[in-house]
Structures are given as C-alpha cells and as structure tokens.
Amino acid sequence: MITVCGELVIDLIPSGDPAPGAAPQYTAFPGGNALNVAVAAARLQAPTSLMARVGPGPFGAVLREHAARNGVATDAMRPAAEPVSLAVVELAADGSAGYSFHTVGAADWQWTAEELQRAWPAGTRIVHVGSISSWTPPGSAALADLVGRVRAEGTALVSFDPNVRPTLITDPDAVREQVTRLRRTADVVKVSAEDLDWLEPGADLDEAAVRWAAEGPALVVVTDGGSTLRAARPDGTLLHRTPPAVTVVDTVGAGDSLAAGLFAGLVRTDVLTRDRLLELPGPDLAALLDDAALVAALACTRPGADPPTLAELEAARG
C-alpha cells in the first residue's frame, strides 16, 4: 500500500475570463499535495491510503468524498476541528499556476505523534510526505520523526517532495533546515526546479541532483516543467529524460501526478525496498520515469488536479 500524508486544500480556480466590470467567478476543486498524489496513484490502480486531518463543513465533506470516489482508502482521514485550507489560483497565459493561500490555523499541520501513530495504515510499503504540512509547525516535527523511524526500520520506502510555497514561509532558514532533514531521510526525493532555486538560489540542476542523491536518498528526481527531467542516484549516475509535449490547460497537480506515476510504477514492478531501488537497472528506471512524466503531461491537458486513469495512461502509451 502507498500511504500519502499531508494537506488537503480546496483550489479555487478561475472559471473563464470575467465580463468587463463583473466580479471573477471561481470553481472549487479538491486539491492539496497529499490528496492529489493519493487520487492520482489510486486512479493508476495502486492501493493507496490518505493520512490527513480533515476540517469540518462542506469543504471537508467534498475532500473526503473525492478521495473515496477515486478509490483512495479513507480510514486514516481523521476529523479535525480546525478549518480546511483554501488556495485561490491565478493562471498565467501558458497555463502555469500561481497560488494565494488562506491557511491560518488550518487542520493540516496540527498533527501530534499520538495522532500519527493511531492513523498509520498497516501494510504501508511506500509513504509520501511533503509540501506545506512537512515544514509547518507544530505538526512537521512529529511527521519528520515518523518518517525517520520508518526509514530506520526499513518497513517502507520514504518519499519526500518539499513543494515550497514561499508566500506561507515566515522563517526561511527553519524551512530550509527542515527540508534538508527530510530529503536526507527519504529514499526518494522529488523536487521542482522552481523549489530548488528557492532552497539553493542559483544552483545548477544537474549538480544539485547528484549532490542530493549522495546525501541519503536512493533516487532524486528534479522536474522542470516541460523541460528535461533529471534523476540522480547515489553512485553519481544522472539520467535525463524528455517529457512528452502536450497542449497545456493548466499545471495544477502536475508534479503530484508525476510522483504518483512513479509510485504506481514502483508498486507494479515490486520495487518496494531501498535495496531493490538501488539495484534497479538504468533502462528500467528510465521506463518508470517516462511513465511518470506521461502521467503528469496528461494531467496538464485538463483543468484542476485531474490525473489520468490507468486505462488513459495505457492508451497514451500506445
């Protein structure tokens, strides 16, 4: 089972261009790093559980129903008294998304060690953490402790995606320190070029990927929108892959879809331990990365975080 732990966000996405003088209209889409990854993995027929704190009200119900409707196990979605996070999305002409977050006092980063222990799904073989909940206190410390124990015990592959949101960060040094801790703990790290530039301004993508892979992970994947996808391994091996070209509607959830595509591929090929990942031949890794990039590309062809099903992926492969 893949377990995804993190935040749930309602994405408010513009519904076309408003008429002159009219107020803009928005459509509410279920989103957030954790929900997007979990739904994308479940649509690819990988058994997936979502570990999240769900705020009250209609948005909380929408998020839970969206997960369940897409085949995600919801037993670890725990009710919380704090509100659901909101993100108002601004779309550029090329479909790339900017976000204005409304998250003060939200449920997502209030985890305690006891809550995490109670919610932890039995049978987890890959656990993914990341984004706002992974570096926002107070829950971020308990989450880091959890994945540290999992990595030490070797019971599951640990995946991490920093998914930096600078507008929410009040202490950049503390966030960079937490990201460093988590990326060195993880077996798999996925980071975007944009996030890497915030974490290490001016860093060369090839050099950073190789350096990060030498500091703990078995695999570091650096995405760069529709440009070259990089994958580095601890032995210094660096792969470059070219994502497929598509007509982009928006990029909401693209990185989350890529991560889920990679996890589903690891499940499908039974690469569920660190040793198996380290021993995975280069051509096999390249095939998994190409599949993951295709999943992300397909998600970009429709609005909101709407990743493809396994049938859609297989059709696109052909």
Q: What is the DSSP string of 231-247?
A: EE-TTS-EEEEPPPP--
CA angle 106, 112, 117 (to 5 degrees): 125
pTM of the model: 0.91
State yes or no: pLDDT of 16 exceeds 80. Answer: no
| pLDDT cut 70: percent of the chain above it | 100
Local confidence band at 4 (pLDDT 50, 70, 90 cut-offs) = very high
Q: Tell whether the model's pLDDT for residue 81 goes beyond 80.
A: yes
Looking at residue 5, its pLDDT comes to 96
Distance CA 298, CA 172 (A): 33
Cβ neighbours for 59, distance < 8 A, ≥ 6 positions apart: 10, 28, 84, 86
Averaged pLDDT score across all residues of the chain: 93
Question: What domains can you pick out in the chain, each with its CATH number?
Answer: 2-6+31-51+111-317 (3.40.1190.20)
Partners of 97 in beta bridges: 91
